[in-house]
Structure 1
Amino acid sequence: MIKYGMEGKWGVISGGTSGIGLAVARNLVREGATVCLVGRDAEKGQKALAELESGEGEALYVQADLSTLEGCRKVAETVGKDGKKLDFLVNSAGLYQEKTLQDITEDDYNRLMDGNVKSTLFLTQQLLPHFADEGPSIVNIASDAALEGNYGCSLYAAAKGAVVAFTRALALDLAPWIRVNCVCPGDVDTPLVQKQLEEGGYSLESMASVYPLGRIGRPEEVAHVICSILSPLNGFMTGSIVPVDGGLTAK
C-alpha cells in the first residue's frame, strides 16, 4: 500500500460519496486519516460510509447542497464543532453538461456555475478559519475542458476554467500558509461519465478512442495523484495545474 503521510490527518472531501472523491477518501481512510464526506444524497452518503468502515481511519458524512452559501456554512459549522483544525480539503463536487451555446439558458448558467465555481469558492471560504496553522493543503478538481476547447460544452469549460484561475490566485493569496493546487482529469469511469454517455448517445469505445492511451481513466488513478499532492511529502508544490488525462491535452 502506498503511504502518503496522511495518517492522523483530518479534512473534507466535497463530492466524496462517489467517483473520484470517494476514491480519494478510500485511500486516506485506509491510511488512517479522518475524512468528512459532503454530498446532497443522504443514501449515497451512508453507502459511502459503509464502504469506508474497514479502513484504519474514520469517516463521517454531512448532507449539504454546496451550490448555496447556506450549504457551505453548514459544512463549516459541522467540522468546526470540536475545534480540531483541518489538514486538507478536496473540492471534488461538480456538475457536467453538454449544450451548444445557442441552447444554453440562464438556468443552465446558474446551475453549472453554482455547482462548479460557487461551491468551490464558498466552501473554501467558509472552511478557511478552521485550517491548521502549519502544512494544510487544498486540491481543487477541474477538467481537461478547462485547458483546451471541447465540443459542445462551452459553459462547462468556462466553469472549470474559472476553477483553474481561482486555484492560481488562491495559491498566491494563501502562501505560505496553505498550499493550493488543481487536478484536471480527462474522462474517468465514474457515475458522472456513465450519465454523460447515456445522455450523449455515444459509446465508451468512441470516448476512449480520442485518448493516446486508448482508454478513459479509473477513479483510483486520479485519486492517487490527488493524495500525492495533498501529502506533506509534497510540501514545495503550490499553484500547479496538473492534467491527468491519458495524454489528451498533450496533442
Structure 2
Amino acid sequence: MEYGCKNKVVVISGGTSGIGLAAARAFWRDGAVVSIVGRDSTKGMIALAAIAGCKDPEAAVFPGLPEGTDTLSAAEGLAKDGSGARDSSVPGTAEELARLRYIRADITKPADCRMAAAIAACYGKDRIDILVNSAGIYQEKRIENVSVAEYNRIMDVNVKGTLLMIQACQPYMLPHGETEPGAADETAGSAQDAGNAAEETAAAENAGSGAVQDRCIINIASDAGIGGNYGCPVYCASKGAVVSLTKALALDFAPDIRVNCICPGDVDTPLLTAQLAAAKGSYTKEEMGEGYPLGRIAATEEVAHVICSVASPANSFMTGAVIPVDGGLTAIG
C-alpha cells in the first residue's frame, strides 16, 4: 500500500517494538527515510533486521557495524570495507537499507532527544518531515497503591518524553530556511559527520514542483486517554495529557506543522504480552477481544496503517484530530 511518503524523513520514538516497529516498517516500505529511536541497542539492531525482512532477526545481520556505533545506518556498516558485500539474509539493496537506521536515546532526557533529532535531520539535509511519538509504558495499579516513583516514571515516558521529542524535532520541521537559531546544538556537528554517507538517500525538497511541504507530528495515546479504564488511573491520566497536548499543539503549530493523535485500544504487542504475563493467566488476548464490537484486539499493522495514512500528504487538511482505532470500543459509550 502506498501512502505518498517516499523520501520523507521520519523519526519514530519507541520504534524498536510494537506499534512503533510496525509503523517504521510501513514507512520504510513506502520509501521513507526512517530513524527509529530507543534506549536498547540490541533491540534496535534486531528491529532493523525485522524491518528489513531478515530471515533470522535474532542474528547479527548487519555486519560491519562497529561496537557501540548505534547511529550508523545499516548500509553504511555493510559497505564499510568498500566491497559493498552484505549479509545474504537481508533483502533489499544497499540504497534501500541506507534509508533505515537506529538511534540510541532516552526520550526522558532533553540532551538525548536533541541529539536524536539532530542526527535524524542530517539525513534530510537539516529537515524532519514526520515525527511519530510511539514510546510508552503501562501500569495496572489502583491509585491507592501507586507510589510517587511509579507515577513519575509513567509521566516521564508517556508525557515528558513526548513533549521533549516534539521540542527537539519541531525546529527541523519548520518551513525550509526558517529553522530557529540554536536548534541544532553542538551535537549537530558530529551528527552531520554520521549522516554524510547516507545523506544522498534522502530526497531533495519538492521545492519548485508546486507540492505543499507537509510536515506532521503523530502522537500515540490510547482509548484510555479518551474515556478512562478500570485499574490504571495514572496511565489514563498520562494518555489524556497526550490527547490534550495534541490539540493544543495543533493550534500552536498551524499552519506549518500538523499534529494529530491516534488512540488505539488493546493491540497485540510485546507490551500487552508482558501485561498478560503479569496477570498470571487471569485473562487471554482472545478474552480481551470479546469486549470489542469487532470481536478481537488489533494487530500492530492495522494501527500502523492509520498512522501512515494520517501522515500522508493526502490528509494535509487534518490537524488536531483524535482518532480512535479500537474496534468500536469507544462507540459503546
TM-score calculated relative to the size of structure 2: 0.73
Structure 1 distance, partners of 2:115, 2:276, is 33
- Give aligned-pair identity as a percent: 55
> Contact 2:9 / 2:121 at 8 angstroms: preserved in 1?
no
Q: Is 1:209 the counterpart of 2:294 in the alignment?
A: no
The aligned residue for residue 200 of structure 1 is 279
Which residue number in structure 2 is paired with residue 218 of structure 1? Answer: 299
Q: Distance in 1 between matches of 2:162 and 2:36?
A: 15
Which residues of 2 match residues 105-116 of structure 1 at below 5 A? 105-116=147-158
Partner of 2:118: 77
Aligned residues of 1:87 and 1:132 also touching (Cα < 8 A) = no
8 Å Cα contact 1:97-1:156 kept in structure 2:
yes
The 2-side partners of 1:30 and 1:149 are apart by 35
| 1:99 and 2:141 aligned | yes
1:23 aligns with 2:22: yes
Cα offset, 1:72, TM superposition = 1.2
Deviation, 1:74, is 2.2
Deviations, residues 206-225 of structure 1 (Å, cap 9, x unaligned): 21121111110000000000
The amino acid of 1:231's aligned partner reads S
SS of the equivalent of 1:52 reads helix
Structure 2 SS opposite 1:143: coil
Give yes or no for the alignment of 1:139 onto 2:248: no
| Cα shift at 1:167 | 0.1
Alignment size in residue pairs: 250
Give the 5 Å matches for 1:111-190: 111-133=153-175, 134-190=213-269
Query: 2:127 and 2:174 mapped to 1: Cα distance?
Result: 5
* Aligned mate of 1:60, from 101, 104, 116: 101
- Maintained 8 Å contact 1:145/1:157: yes
Structure 2, unaligned stretches of length 5 or more? 53-90, 176-212
Tell me how far 1:77 sits from its aligned partner.
2.8
Alignment RMSD (CA, Å):
1.3
Greater CA deviation, 174-183 or 68-77?
A: 68-77
- The residue identity in structure 2 corresponding to 1:247 is G
1:238 and 1:223 map into 2 onto residues whose CA distance is 18
SS at match of 2:302: helix
CA contact (8 A) 1:11 1:88 kept: yes
* TM-score of the two chains, using structure 1 as the length reference: 0.96
Does the 8 Å contact 2:21/2:51 carry over to 1?
no
Moved more, 144-153 or 72-81: 72-81
Does structure 2 retain, via aligned residues, the 8 Å contact 1:68–1:114?
A: no
State the Cα distance separating 1:132 from its structure 2 match: 4.9
Separation in 2 of the partners of 1:162 and 1:96? 14
Provide structure 1 residue ranges, at least 5 long, that are not aligned to the other structure: none
Partner letter of residue 45 of structure 2? Q
CA deviation after TM superposition for structure 1 residue 86, in Å: 0.8
Q: Distance in 2 between matches of 1:204 and 1:11?
A: 31
Equivalent-residue separation in structure 2 for 1:179 and 1:81 (angstroms): 22
- Taking the aligned partners of 1:80 and 1:211, their CA distance within structure 2 comes to 40
Query: Aligned AA for 2:256?
Result: W
Please say which structure displays the higher CA radius of gyration.
2
The residue type equivalent to 2:112 in the other structure is: G
Distance 1:52 1:122 in 2: 26
Shift, 1:68, TM fit: 1.9
1:89 equivalent to 2:131? Answer yes
Kept after mapping to 2: 8 A contact 1:138/1:178: yes
SS at match of 1:97: coil
Structure 2 partner of 1:244? 325
Please say if 1:230 is aligned against 2:311: yes
Matches of 1:3 and 1:100, distance apart in 2: 43
Higher mean C-alpha displacement, 60-69 vs 166-175: 60-69
- Post-superposition Cα deviations, 1:65-112, rounded to whole Å, max 9, x if no partner, equal 112222212212322445331110000000100000010110011100
